[in-house]
Amino acid sequence: MSYPHAKASMALYTLPNQFIVEVITMKTFAVLTSGGDAPGMNAAIRSVVRTASFYECRILGIRHGYQGMIDDDVLELTPGSVGDIIQRGGTVLQTARCEAFKTPVGLAKGIATLQKHGIEGLVVIGGDGSFRGAYALAQYGIQVIGIPGTIDNDIPGTDESIGFDTAVNTAVEAIDRIRDTASSHDRTYVVEVMGHRSGAIALSVGMAAGAASILIPEEPQDPDRVLAQLNKARERGKKHPIVIVAEGAACAMDVGEFLRNHIASEVRVTVLGHIQRGGSPSARDRILGGLYGTEAVRLLLEGMTNHMVAMCGARVTAVPFTEVFDRQHEANLFYHRIADILAV
Ligand code: ADP
């Protein structure tokens, strides 16, 4: 048996010869997507499959996240089988939330499936909840690497998660349309964007859409502050201000009602909802999927486990799951301050 790619891998990563010896012991890996879907997950699946294939590893897909692991819903993946998916939103492996996997019985069933297929290493694409499932598997000797995939961008330890950039762009595009009608009628618009625990989408959307005010869950809500910002904007001639509300910060309908009672202009409320989850992934999310997938497989081949691949500055790196679990997500309050300055 020859290993033509092993040489290429050395060139790619300038790794020592010893790495080649490790690579050539044929491995079987699997990949699954779990938790909420995010655009760009398909690019990550494609990357994992093609990188594994590059290193002559066998790669299996597990459908419906941990539920599929319990149900033995497993399929063989090949470089060709992940063709034509890079541009598609959602996840071709489908995803699920699976309470049963949190129980000892569910976990045991999942491990039995992995053993049945000879799966030694697993790539989990999802949020920090999904990484807890991976962490549980690692306690039983399964090698696990996580890829951050959530539109909320609220996973500690990484600057970027797959899906965030697309969600922000989708919301900004929608708000640009809303702005057209807002300016035609001199209306104030309150727009609710996704983010239960995190104001990341709201802050980026607010910055990019030129919001007059942004409400995020990480900061105390002060209706008078919103009012003051709108009045200030109006004083300098802005007739159609936009207020961005993260869903976890306040109920957009209540914010709209409050404003109706305090300002003269007509107030409309729009909840963008699940359109932010769907659609073709942005170039950035496809690139992230490519980078993260390659790195995840490389880490598995190096014998690494219990880590999440991450973007730190402009570098792809790896962060231990324990660090992800221990740290709190922090809002980018710098964006908030800048957005406030630019709104005046
Ligand atoms: P996300 O990955 O987007 O944060 P969730 O928090 O809903 O999504 O987690 C996704 C899935 O990960 C859960 O439905 C469950 O199957 C699995 N999971 C979460 N926490 C644990 C845990 N402590 N032990 C085992 N599995 C878990």
Q: Which of 327, 255, 297 is nearest to 54 (CA)?
A: 297
> Does 151 appear as a known binding residue?
yes
- Read off the DSSP letter of residue 215: E
Work out whether strand 121-126 and strand 267-271 pair parallel, antiparallel, or are unpaired.
unpaired
Q: What is the pLDDT of residue 331?
A: 86
159 and 301 share one domain: yes
CATH assignment of the domain containing 92: 3.40.50.450
Does 82 lie in the same domain as 179? no
CA angle, corner 46, sides to 174 and 162, nearest 5?
A: 40
Secondary structure element (H or E) that encloses residue 270, with its range: strand 267-271
And the tokens for 199? Answer: 């104001």
pLDDT in tens, the chain (344 residues): 333 333 334 344 444 444 444 445 679 999 999 999 999 999 999 999 999 999 999 999 999 999 999 999 999 999 999 999 999 999 999 999 999 999 999 999 999 999 999 999 999 999 999 999 999 999 999 999 999 999 999 999 999 999 999 999 999 999 999 998 888 888 999 999 999 999 999 999 999 999 999 999 999 888 999 999 999 888 888 888 999 999 999 999 999 999 999 998 899 999 999 999 999 999 999 999 999 999 999 999 999 999 999 999 999 999 999 999 999 888 888 999 999 889 87
- Nearest-CA residue for atom 9 of ligand 1: 129
136 and 36 assigned to the same domain: yes
Q: Sign of the CA dihedral 306, 311, 316, 317?
A: negative
Pocket mutation for ligand 1, best pick of 33, 101, 125, 142 (most atoms within 8 Å of C-beta): 101
Pairwise CA distance, residues 32 & 296, whole Å: 13
**Which residue lies with its CA nearest to atom 19 of ligand 1?**
129
Say whether 188 counts as a known binding-site residue. no
Q: Are residues 272 and 292 in the same domain?
A: no
Count Cβ atoms below 10 Å from residue 220 Cβ, excluding itself. 7
Q: Is 152 a catalytic residue?
A: yes
Residue 195 lies in a domain: yes
* CATH value at residue 204: 3.40.50.460
pLDDT in tens, 278-309: 999 999 999 999 999 999 999 999 999 999 99
Flag whether 3 is in a domain: no
In angstroms, the CA 144 to CA 198 distance is 26
What is the secondary structure of 177-192 as a DSSP string?
HHHHHHHHHT-EEEEE
Give nearest CA residue, ligand 1 atom 26: 133
Residue 238 and residue 271 in one domain: yes
Number of domains composing the chain: 2
Is residue 223 assigned to a domain? yes
Structural domain for 232, as ranges:
165-277
Residue 317 assigned ligand-binding role: no
Q: Determine the distance separating the centroid of ligand 1 and the alpha carbon of 130, expressed in angstroms.
A: 4
Pocket test for ligand 1, best of 32, 33, 102, 321 (most atoms within 8 A of CB): 102
Looking at the structure, tell me whether residues 42 and 116 fall in a common domain: yes
CA 196 to chain centre: 14
Q: At what angle do helices 252-260 and 223-235 cross, to 10 degrees?
A: 60
Residues 6+ apart with CB under 8 A from 21: none
In a domain, 132, yes or no: yes
- The alpha carbon of 150 and the centre of ligand 1 are apart by a number of angstroms equal to 13
Give the span between the Cα atoms of 219 and 152, in whole angstroms. 16
Tell me which of 245, 277, 309 is where a domain ends: 277
Please tell me the residue having the least CA distance from ligand 1 atom 18.
133
The predicted-structure confidence for 17-44, as pLDDT tens digits, reads as follows 444 444 456 799 999 999 999 999 999 9
